[in-house]
Amino acid sequence: MGDSVASVTSSANVAGPARTIEVDFALVGHQESWRTAADVIARLRGPEHAPLPDDEIPDILPWIPPRPVCHVDVGSPIGAKARGLYIDSFIPPDRLEAVYTHDNLARVRAAAACAIKAGAKIVSLGGFSSILIEGNLDLLKMDLLKTEQLPEKHATVFTTGNTLTVAFIVQAIRKMCALQGRNIRKSTLLIVGATGDVGSGCARCLAPVVKRVLLSARNLERLRKLAAELEASGVQVEIAKDLQRFSAEADLVICAASLPSPSLLLGRVAPHALICDAGYPKNLSPSAEMPGATVFFGGLGQITGGLQFAPDFRGVLNRHPFPDVVHGCLLEGMALALERRFEPFSRGRGSITPDRVEEIETVAARHGIHLAPLYNADGPVEDAPHCRTECSRA
Ligand SMILES: NC(=O)c1ccc[n+]([C@@H]2O[C@H](COP(=O)([O-])OP(=O)(O)OC[C@H]3O[C@@H](n4cnc5c(N)ncnc54)[C@H](OP(=O)(O)O)[C@@H]3O)[C@@H](O)[C@H]2O)c1
């Protein structure tokens, strides 16, 4: 195992231990499945090494420390350019449960230290990374400074990237409603994981434009607080821990719960519901049977001004049916870097507002970063027959 790990931990060709190339942004992420993790490891080991057998990956991955994986160059149609670094925290895909929090936190801290060492001006924390540190980004920085050998003068800021994620989820819901000729104002919207950073941001953006909102999470106190906030602006709200307890069926659903694996069974939703799964890992269980519903993945954007990896990790890090698609949380850091706005745009939990969503949407759009074409595990959804029919009618 030693040789296998050693061949992955060397960072000679990426950023190196010392700062060699100016880095505007860093993206901290981890792999969603063993397959993607195996592909990242194979690419890091290089063509001179045979790929490791799939069944050895779960034994090896936990021994790989967080490290820079590749450079990321991004351009915008108005000529702006930014250079970044993708740092993988190598959190094993089967270790997202609370019991692994301590280890995972150490991995995110080490990944953040890599970003600071590389001189990144802004760091986007993808997937579980921002959830783990609960948005306590300033403390994370202070903590790192105390314990790591970091450059004394550094000006690295962190963003969770959740505001742009919310923007893309909201845009996707609106787009699917338009494609299927649905009146969003007559819709009942269910948000699972409603009190989270992403869920509550989506609630604030969409509650004023739907007929009724159903909010679900496990902690009733937080649900009551969010419901009171929305009700104060005249929105009809219902809350429940148990999805079966709502008095109405939802025809729009956003899944934004921080589940360690795809295990969510929605049960009672309207037969032709539109369901946006924005979880990373995905929320919906593969065994969830909703034959009439349209499921699509949410929170994803597409870069139109150019995206390059060095070494070439195309199709390994961003494996989507469309080119240059990236998670909204990571895109937020890239958009801010292209704008030369090195500020902690999204921080803390539960404070994303429609105004901030509009602001980051505008920044992203200026740099050619837009909602990605919608798809699910079976492929693109915008070309599905019900979408085409409704579009041609419109
Ligand atoms: N697509 C993207 O680009 C993108 C970007 C950022 C984040 N994400 C993903 O979006 C999801 C939410 O992220 P976040 O930052 O909003 O997380 P968060 O702030 O930790 O919120 C998580 C929410 O899920 C609820 N929850 C947790 N476990 C649950 C369970 N077993 N059943 C029902 N509800 C549960 C939490 O409330 P209770 O604790 O009260 O249950 C809370 O409402 C995560 O999967 C994250 O990885 C995706």
Q: Does the Cβ of 129 fall within 6 Å of ligand 1? A: no
Q: Report CA dihedral (124, 278, 64, 39) to the nearest 10 degrees.
A: -110
Question: What residue segments make up the domains of the chain, in order of their start?
Answer: 2-159+301-371, 164-298+374-393
Q: Does the Cβ of 256 fall within 6 Å of ligand 1? A: yes
pLDDT value for 394: 30
Which of the residue ranges 14-18, 40-44, 136-140, 317-321 would you say has the lowest mean pLDDT?
14-18
For the full predicted model, state whether its pTM sits above 0.85.
yes
Q: What is the helix (H) or strand (E) element at residue 60, kind and residue range?
A: helix 57-60
CB–CB of 210/189 below 8 Å? yes
Q: What is the helix (H) or strand (E) element at residue 179, kind and residue range?
A: helix 162-179
More confident residue, 318 or 245: 245
3-state secondary structure 102-115: HHHHHHHHHHHHHH
Q: Does the Cβ of 97 fall within 6 Å of ligand 1? A: no
- Whose Cα sits closest to atom 15 in ligand 1? 197
CATH fold label, 164-298+374-393: Rossmann fold (3.40.50)
More confident residue, 104 or 19: 104
Q: Does the Cβ of 89 fall within 6 Å of ligand 1? A: no
Question: What is the number of other CB atoms lying within 10 angstroms of the CB of residue 286?
Answer: 9
216 CB-near residues (< 8 Å, 6+ apart): 190, 191, 192, 193, 194, 223, 239, 240, 241, 243, 246
pLDDT for residue 203 is more than 60: yes
C-alpha 195 – ligand 1 centre gap (Å): 8
Question: What is the number of other CB atoms lying within 10 angstroms of the CB of residue 361?
Answer: 22
Q: Does the Cβ of 253 fall within 6 Å of ligand 1? A: no
CB–CB of 38/60 below 8 Å? no
Let me know the angle formed at the C-alpha of 27 by 26 and 29, rounded to the nearest 5 degrees.
145
